[in-house]
C-alpha cells in the first residue's frame, strides 16, 4: 500500500501513469489529498469509478485520529494528541488569535519525530527516547488536522507553521524539507515559506545544508545557555557542535537566505537566568541578524528544572535589550494543558497503562 500524503504532485502523476491512468488524474488526486484534506477515495468525486477502486485497493491517505485534546482556560491555545495507524502518538499545539488585522494568525506547532534522541535535560519529549522519524505525509497531516480542528471550532484556517514540537527537525531533514514543499504548494494549503519556521537544538551540518537551499523559511535555534560548560550539561548535542560553531552556522544561514535567526532561550531558575547570563547572551549575539525569544519554561516535574520567576524574566529581557539585541519576552500559553513538548503524550501513555 502506498501512502499518498508523502507524495508530491509529480510523484502522484507518475504513480498513476505507471498503473495505466492518465497523468492529469494525479493533479486532481493531489488537490484532494493536500488542499481539500479528503481521505476517503469515494468522496473524491471527479476521479472516476475505476481509479477510485484502484486507490481503495492499493493506497492510503495518512489521517491521524485525535485521541485527546485540551483547550487552555484563556481559550487561546489547544493541544491535540494524535495517533497514527501504527499506534505512534505525537502532539501538536494550536495557538489561536482573533485575526483583527493582517498580522494576526493561526499557528500550529508540529512534531517531526515520535519522541526525541537529543537528550536535553529539561525536556519531557526526550525522557522516553526516540521511537521513530515521521514521514513527510505524517508531518503534513498534522497541519491538515489542525486546519480541520480550527474550522470545526469556528476559527480561520492555519496560516503559520512552526516545526517546534516533538523531536529534532533537522535529524529528519529530508522529510521536513519535503513536507515544507508540500505545505507550500499552490495546490496544497499554500502556506508561504516566510510563514514557516524550523527549530533546531544545534545540528550544524544540517543548518548549513538548509542554508544552501536558500529557502525563505525561518530558522530558530534553541540556545538556552551562553557557554559550552553549561550547554554541555543541559543540551548534550553541544558536546558535538559547540556554541561558536553553532552561531557561525546560524550566521551563514542568515547570509545565504537574508532571514533573521531567532534564538530561543528558556529561563530556568538558578540555572541560566542570572544577569551575568543576560549580558553574556547579548554579547554573543550583538551585531548579528538575530532576535532573542525569551521563554517562560513550562514545569516538567520529572526533569527537576524550575521555571524562572516572572520578575527574573523581566529583568533578563531588559538587560538583553539594553545591550542592543532585539528581544521578545514570549507570552506563556498552555501551561494548564501540558503544553511543554511531550507532556500530554507522556501523561496519556501512563493513563493507558494503568
pLDDT at 56 over 60: yes
Active site residue 326: no
- Same domain (yes/no): 56, 69: no
Give the single-character DSSP code of 333. Answer: -
Give the single-character DSSP code of 300. Answer: B
Question: Residue 138 is part of which domain span?
Answer: 65-353
pLDDT at 133 over 70: yes
Retrieve residue 235's grid coordinates: 543540551
- Same domain (yes/no): 54, 74: no
pLDDT at 117 over 50: yes
Confidence (pLDDT) at 300? 83
How far apart CA 14 and CA 19 sit, in angstroms, is 9
Sign of the dihedral through C-alpha 115, 116, 117, 119: negative
pLDDT at 120 over 80: yes
pLDDT at 217 over 60: yes
Residue ending a domain, choose from 43, 60, 77: 60
- Same domain (yes/no): 132, 38: no
Active site residue 120: no
Model confidence at 75, pLDDT cuts 50, 70, 90, reads confident
Model confidence at 332, pLDDT cuts 50, 70, 90, reads low
How far apart CA 291 and CA 326 sit, in angstroms, is 5
pLDDT at 212 over 70: yes
Write out the DSSP string of 148-163: HHHHHTTPPPP-EEEE
Taking all residues of the chain, what is their mean pLDDT, rounded to a whole number? Answer: 92
pLDDT tens, position by position, 145-167: 999 999 999 999 999 999 999 99
Looking at residue 14, which CATH number applies to its domain? 1.10.150.530
- Same domain (yes/no): 236, 266: yes
Q: Is the pLDDT higher at 22 or at 340?
A: 22
pLDDT at 100 over 70: no
How far apart CA 282 and CA 265 sit, in angstroms, is 12
Span 288-302, average pLDDT: 91
Span 107-118, average pLDDT: 97
Say how many domains are in the chain. Answer: 2
Distance of CA 334 to the CA centre of its chain: 16
- Same domain (yes/no): 20, 145: no
- Same domain (yes/no): 239, 114: yes
pLDDT at 335 over 60: no
Check 120, 123, 201, 341 and give the catalytic one. 341
Check 9, 91, 138, 277 and give the catalytic one. 91
Q: Is the pLDDT higher at 204 or at 301?
A: 204
* H helix runs in the chain, sequence order: 9-18, 24-30, 49-58, 136-152, 173-184, 204-213, 228-234, 243-257, 275-285, 310-322, 343-353
- Same domain (yes/no): 34, 96: no
SS3 329: strand
Give the single-character DSSP code of 250. Answer: H
- Same domain (yes/no): 136, 217: yes
Confidence (pLDDT) at 350? 42
CA distance to 26, 27, 65, 85, 139, per residue, from 30 (Å)? 6, 5, 21, 21, 16
Q: Is the pLDDT higher at 199 or at 299?
A: 199
Least confident segment among 19-23, 137-141, 266-270, 303-307: 303-307
Looking at residue 340, which CATH number applies to its domain? 3.20.20.70
What pTM was estimated for this model as a whole?
0.93
- Same domain (yes/no): 260, 156: yes
Amino acid at each position: 500500500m502506498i501512502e499518498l500524503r508523502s507524495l508530491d504532485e509529480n510523484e502522484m502523476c507518475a504513480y498513476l501513469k505507471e498503473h495505466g491512468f492518465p497523468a492529469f488524474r494525479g493533479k486532481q488526486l493531489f488537490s484532494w489529498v493536500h488542499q481539500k484534506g479528503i481521505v476517503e477515495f469515494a468522496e473524491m468525486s471527479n476521479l472516476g469509478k475505476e481509479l477510485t477502486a484502484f486507490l481503495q485497493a492499493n493506497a492510503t491517505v495518512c489521517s491521524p485520529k485525535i485521541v485527546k485534546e485540551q483547550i487552555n482556560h484563556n481559550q487561546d491555545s489547544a493541544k491535540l494528541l494524535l495517533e497514527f495507524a501504527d499506534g505512534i502518538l505525537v502532539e501538536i499545539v494550536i495557538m489561536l488569535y482573533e485575526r483583527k488585522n493582517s498580522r494576526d494568525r493561526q499557528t500550529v506547532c508540529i512534531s517531526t519525530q515520535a519522541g526525541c534522541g537529543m537528550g536535553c535535560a529539561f525536556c519531557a519529549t526526550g525522557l522516553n527516547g526516540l521511537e521513530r522519524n515521521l514521514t513527510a505525509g505524517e508531518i503534513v497531516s498534522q497541519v491538515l488536522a489542525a486546519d480541520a480542528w480550527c474550522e470545526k471550532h469556528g476559527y480561520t484556517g492555519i496560516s503559520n507553521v512552526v516545526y517546534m514540537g516533538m523531536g529534532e527537525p533537522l535529524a529528519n531533514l529530508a522529510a521536513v524539507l519535503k513536507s515544507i514543499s508540500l505545505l507550500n504548494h499552490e495546490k496544497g494549503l499554500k502556506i508561504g515559506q516566510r510563514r514557516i519556521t524550523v527549530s533546531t537544538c544545534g545540528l550544524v551540518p544540517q543548518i548549513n545544508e538548509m542554508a544552501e537551499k536558500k529557502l525563505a523559511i525561518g530558522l530558530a535555534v534553541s540556545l538556552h545557555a551562553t557557554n559550552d560548560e553549561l550547554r554541555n550539561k543541559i543540551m548534550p548535542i553541544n558536546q558535538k557542535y559547540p556554541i561558536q560553531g553553532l552561531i557561525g552556522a546560524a550566521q551563514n544561514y542568515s547570509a545565504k537566505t537574508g532571514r533573521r535567526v531567532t534564538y530561543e532561550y528558556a529561563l530556568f531558575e538558578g540555572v541560566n537566568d542570572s544577569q551575568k547570563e543576560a549580558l553574556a547572551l547579548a554579547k554573543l549575539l550583538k551585531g548579528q541578524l538575530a532576535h532573542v525569544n525569551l521563554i517562560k519554561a513550562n514545569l516538567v516535574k520529572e526533569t527537576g528544572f524550575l521555571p524562572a520567576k516572572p520578575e527574573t524574566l523581566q529583568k533578563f529581557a531588559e538587560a538583553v535589550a539594553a545591550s542592543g539585541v532585539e528581544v521578545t519576552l514570549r507570552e506563556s500559553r498552555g501551561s494548564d494543558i501540558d503544553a511543554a513538548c511531550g507532556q500530554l503524550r507522556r501523561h496519556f501513555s501512563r493513563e493507558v497503562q494503568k
